[in-house]
Amino acid sequence: MKKILLMALLLLLGVSKVNAQTSLDKTLNGIVYGANDKGKEPLDGAVIKWINTRKGDVTSPDGKFSLSAEGISDKRIIVFYVGYKRDTINAEGKNFVEVVLQNNFSTQQIVVESKVNSSFIENGNAKTEVITQGELKKAACCDLSGMFGSNTTVEVTVSDILTNTKELKMLGLEGAYTQVLLDNMPIMSGLVTKYGVTSIPGTLVNKITISKGSNSVMQGYESISGIMNVLLKDYNTSDAFLFNGYLNSMLEKQINLNTTAKINNWKTLLAFQTVQEAKRLDENGDGFLDAPLTTRYMFFNKWKYGNTDDDFTNVTIGLKYLDEKRIGGQKNFDYNKDLGSNTIYGQTVNIQNGDAYTRISQEIGADLHLKLYAAGSFFNQESYYGVTKYDAKQRNFYTNATIEIPVGLRSYVRLGTSYKYEKINEDIKFLQPENKTYAGPYEKLESIAGVFSEASLDFKNLKSSVVGGLRLDYHNKYNLIATPRVMLRFQLSKETTIRATAGTGFRTINLFSENSNLLASGRNILVPQELKPEKMINYGIDVLQYFDFGKVSGNLNLDFYRTEFSNKIMPDYTVNPLAVTFMNVSDAATNVFQIESTFSVFNNVDFKLAYKYIDQYYYHKGMKMQQPFNSKHRVVSSLHYSPKDNNWNANVSLQWFGVQALPSTKDYPVELQRPSESDPYTIVNGQFTKNFKHFEAYVGVENIFDFRQQNPIVDPAQPFSPYFDTSYIWGPTTGRTFYFGFRLLFNKL
């Protein structure tokens, strides 16, 4: 199938401009500006949608958008951007509109006849979900891992119980298979992936776009289950001053600060976050802390130059620094005295991480657009897992150059080249005599040069569009890697859109970082064979149906994705009861089916109901094995209410998780044996927010019904025994948590 896909894409990329067709009469294009004291500037990330529908788009960095007018009778659009007044524009009889938004302190009265949904699906070739700031505020959103409580696509799971390390899963696959971008840059890779999802505060996020399955080849070959692009705030998308304070019932404290300034032609945002540790809690009485003691300091600074009518060059520069410490383990563990102790068990993580990136956009003549990306980062980690000391360092550099050539009004061809350098050094030591055999230094060096081409073509008569891409990368160890991908979109009827995607993926694993919970276990780690790169093909189909019944409007979305691995690295718990054996598996697959309906009533009640089925398996010695720690069935629901004056709002979210298969413990002593399946469980969260002119106060509760996994640690009374294990985590380990907070904010004057 890979060869057929490759040949099809080669043919597609050879299509000339003559064959490209556009649908002028079925498409509304435009640009959105924001008014300022010197005129106007394009707005990146403005939301546009047809009035009284859920069909929308988001502007690109140059302020441009494109909306399909298929099935639209009321040709008014609503335009929304944080810090500016919403506007309603009549686009009847127009193919192009220019919108200029006024800031919130404008005295001009603008009437808005419909609200903008806080999350929606973009009107593009690939299925892309957009989560706006309105959706993010429905929960405390202390960091990136807390922003998906009502999202069906993304699952947030705890991968390391003692330090509360989390990962973001898509299509049933572990977080390492999801490519997380920051401002379109693949900064969060390698070792950074493990802790990066908790290093981005919610107050710094402008919006998140989520694309399932195979996507653009521009970002490399590692986007396997999908791409999550976290677009951070800047001068235009942030309040001029924002101060957020948060406190929960475990006495964990958080402070966030955003402030903006304009210096000559440069605009800047400076952000700061600190998290201070909670109190020591052990509510289940196993002697271990229910939640780690976390201390975090994060600084972020973004500069932007350009984005005005007279600028042909636009520059963005971003800088981020993180210093974080997490302390878990037994309740009486003292970080200053007990590091590496063989009498009191402690698990600690100490991280320093710095990122710098830049994006330069240059217009060349009237048609060509050149974009240059560059990023560099460092990551240092020092950890103790009882008597096991783990140190890691990572150095990254990435650059990408892309030129975009327009083909007609809505089609384009992109050509580009990229280079990635990543060096990882890991060192594992046992501070006391152990029967484990995996101590030693481990080094990984990747140097990857690549070229890629991507074409997007619209076909009016067929009511369809296609994006095809091919990239060729040369890896310093694995030589040439070819990655073909294709995305199709077909407008079946005026309210029905069908999309399909297919493409290949390739990745090399970071064994100890991705399975760090095993370092805390009494089990040995065995690797009897060389672990090969993981290779897979992913394909899927999505059907989106809009409906509108007067005061009720919404959509019904069904999708199916399958990921087939020709090689996957799997842990085996059965070969040796006191060890985990990692092996290459040549036949593994994941099938994911999802159905979701979202609708609004009277423009102030939003309701979502979704069901997700995940079948994740592999074959070992001719036997079909279900992958452990995976709920085959999941239900997600949410309800949000806000009165028309928006003085307050309330929302409730529910997630139900079905049974999970668990690794066998039949060879353990009887008193330590665990069931082969988990219990199903339900998590319900709620929040109430009161809005004032420059002040917002919110209170909420997580895990309302106080469900928690009982005795999640195996043999906690003997943390240095061979049966001690913290990896049997399948549900929440902290119970009901109350929180409250406030936001003090001022917009630009």
Q: Smallest Cα–Cα separation from 685: which of 649, 733, 637?
A: 637
Q: What local confidence, expressed as pLDDT, does residue 547 receive?
A: 87
pLDDT band at residue 454, thresholds of 50, 70 and 90? Answer: very high
Handedness of CA 469, 474, 478, 480 (dihedral sign): positive
Q: What is the mean pLDDT of residues 379-390?
A: 96
Count of alpha carbons within 13 Å of 11, Cβ hemisphere only? 6
Q: What is the mean pLDDT of residues 592-601?
A: 93
- C-alpha to C-alpha distance for 62 and 29, rounded to whole angstroms: 13
Burial 14-43 (b: 16+ CB within 10 A, else e): ebeeeebbbbeebbbbbbbbbeeeeebbbb
Give the other-Cβ count within 10 Å of 60's Cβ: 15
* Secondary structure class of 513 (helix, strand, coil): helix
- C-alpha to C-alpha distance for 43 and 214, rounded to whole angstroms: 28
pLDDT higher than threshold 60 for residue 14: no
Domains 2-121 and 128-746 share a fold: no
pLDDT band at residue 548, thresholds of 50, 70 and 90? Answer: confident
Q: What is the largest CA-CA distance in the chain?
A: 79
**Are residues 611 and 634 in contact, defined by beta-carbon separation less than 8 angstroms?**
yes
Q: What local confidence, expressed as pLDDT, does residue 16 receive?
A: 37
| Domain boundaries of the chain, sorted by first residue | 2-121, 128-746
Query: In a 10 Å sphere around its CB, with 0-12 CB exposed, 13-18 middle and 19+ buried, how is residue 148 labelled?
Result: buried
**Are residues 290 and 284 in contact, defined by beta-carbon separation less than 8 angstroms?**
yes
Q: What local confidence, expressed as pLDDT, does residue 308 receive?
A: 47
Match 């996020």 to its residue by tokens: 205
Q: What local confidence, expressed as pLDDT, does residue 704 receive?
A: 95
pLDDT digits (tens, 9 = 90+) for 183-218: 989 888 899 988 888 889 999 999 899 999 888 899
pLDDT digits (tens, 9 = 90+) for 651-705: 999 999 999 998 888 888 999 999 989 999 999 999 999 999 899 999 999 999 9
**Are residues 660 and 626 in contact, defined by beta-carbon separation less than 8 angstroms?**
no
pLDDT band at residue 164, thresholds of 50, 70 and 90? Answer: confident
3-state SS track over 523-585? CEEECCCCCCCEEEEEEEEEEEEEEEECCEEEEEEEEEEEEEEEEEEEEECCCCCCEEEEEEE
Report the mean per-residue pLDDT for the chain: 87
H or E stretch at 626: strand 623-626
- C-alpha to C-alpha distance for 729 and 521, rounded to whole angstroms: 12
Q: What local confidence, expressed as pLDDT, does residue 3 receive?
A: 54
Q: Smallest Cα–Cα separation from 230: which of 93, 45, 478, 75?
A: 45
Q: What is the mean pLDDT of residues 338-349?
A: 94
**Are residues 58 and 44 in contact, defined by beta-carbon separation less than 8 angstroms?**
no
User: Long-range pairs for 250-253 at CB < 8 Å and ≥24 separation?
Assistant: 250/278, 250/279, 250/281, 250/291, 250/734, 250/737, 251/278, 251/279, 252/276, 252/277, 252/278, 252/291, 252/294
Ramachandran region, residue 19 (left: φ > 0; alpha: ψ -120 to 50; beta: rest):
alpha
Q: What's the CATH number for 128-746?
A: 2.40.170.20
Q: What local confidence, expressed as pLDDT, does residue 103 receive?
A: 63
State the DSSP code for 237: T
Q: What is the mean pLDDT of residues 444-448?
A: 97
- C-alpha to C-alpha distance for 571 and 255, rounded to whole angstroms: 40
Instruction: Give the residues across from 562 on adjacent strands.
Output: 539, 591
pLDDT digits (tens, 9 = 90+) for 508-529: 999 999 998 899 888 899 999 9
* Secondary structure class of 219 (helix, strand, coil): helix
- C-alpha to C-alpha distance for 683 and 298, rounded to whole angstroms: 30
pLDDT digits (tens, 9 = 90+) for 66-77: 887 777 877 888
pLDDT band at residue 366, thresholds of 50, 70 and 90? Answer: low
CATH number of 2-121, picked from 2.60.40.1120, 3.30.1330.40, 2.70.180.20, 3.40.50.2300: 2.60.40.1120
* Secondary structure class of 665 (helix, strand, coil): coil
- C-alpha to C-alpha distance for 372 and 362, rounded to whole angstroms: 8
Q: What local confidence, expressed as pLDDT, does residue 410 receive?
A: 66
